[in-house]
Amino acid sequence: MFMVKSKNNDKIEITDYLNLLITIGKMGGIRRPVFSTTSELGKIVGISQQSASRKLTKMENTNLIVRNYQQRGNTIKITPKGITSLERVFTDLWMILTAEGRELAEKITLKGTVCTGMGEGAYYMSQKGYKNQFTSLLGFEPFTGTLNLQLLEELSLRNFERILRSPSKFIKEFTEGGRRFGKVFVWPTYILIKDQKISSALIHPDRTHHSNQIEIIAEENIKNTYNVKDGDVLEIVLQ
């Protein structure tokens, strides 16, 4: 269901809102302000003038459109947020209605920009309680460190949400040196680099809040072995 959040964080169902956005877009409202009346828009969408007026006001309040009021109507332009909302629907429909999209939907992929983390990954991966469990779980002893990726694309962000809701393996919590180390969720993946599939795993500590940055572990030091640098874009595929 197509939803947006209002300024007070209420969710609004927008079946008619989507129709209005599409209608305004077809009139050219992505590129420039277009002129129309609420009566005209309501007639096209199949709702009353009063309903169209209320929905356009809510679309303004949720920053989907900007309007300039004139004596005989309004000029309306779709905002970047509105364009993003349309792109999200387009992507979903593409994945549902095309063979290529359905193939992609069956495997969860992530794209991210390589970045330098806080250095905590190396510390945690050096703990025997983690390293031994990872080795047993994944079938390889991971390099002492993590590869950090900043997810930027909308599709990757939504796929990450899907991954967090999907079945996973996990590393049990343990105590070492008087310190408690928490549970870590693990999803086997592979990294695509120059047509090579490199076995790896996406890890997500139980106590870590959701962010746009993910951590990947592999048997090798990916940066050194494959000459990967900060700023490079890599694709990760869930196995």
Over residues 60-89, the pLDDT tens digits come to 999 999 999 888 888 999 999 899 888 878
CA–CA dist 167, 231 (Å, integer): 30
Helix%, strand%, coil% for the chain, nearest 5? 40, 30, 30
- Domain end marker among 86, 115, 130: 86
Q: Tally the C-alpha atoms within 13 A of residue 189's C-alpha that lie toward its C-beta.
A: 27
Note whether 152 and 233 are same-domain residues. Answer: yes
- Cα separation values, 10 from 19, 72, 86, 118, Å: 20, 32, 20, 35
Residues 219-238 have pLDDT tens digits of: 999 999 999 999 999 999 98
Note whether 51 and 154 are same-domain residues. Answer: no
User: pLDDT class for 209, splitting at 50, 70, 90?
Assistant: low
Assigned domain for 98 exists: no
Is the pTM value of this prediction over 0.75? no
Q: Are 188 and 239 in contact (CB under 8 A)?
A: yes
Assigned domain for 95 exists: no
User: pLDDT class for 1, splitting at 50, 70, 90?
Assistant: very low
Residues 131-165 have pLDDT tens digits of: 899 999 998 899 998 999 999 888 788 888 888 88
Please check the confidence at residue 12 and state whether its pLDDT lies above 70: no
Note whether 82 and 13 are same-domain residues. Answer: yes
Residues 23-42 have pLDDT tens digits of: 999 999 999 999 999 999 99
Assigned domain for 139 exists: yes
CA–CA dist 33, 74 (Å, integer): 9
Which residues lie across from 199 on neighbouring strands?
Answer: 190
- The reported pLDDT for the residue numbered 98 is 83
**Phi and psi at residue 191, in whole multiples of 5°?**
-100, 135
Burial class (CB in 10 A: 0-12, 13-18, 19+), 11: exposed
Q: Are 151 and 127 in contact (CB under 8 A)?
A: no
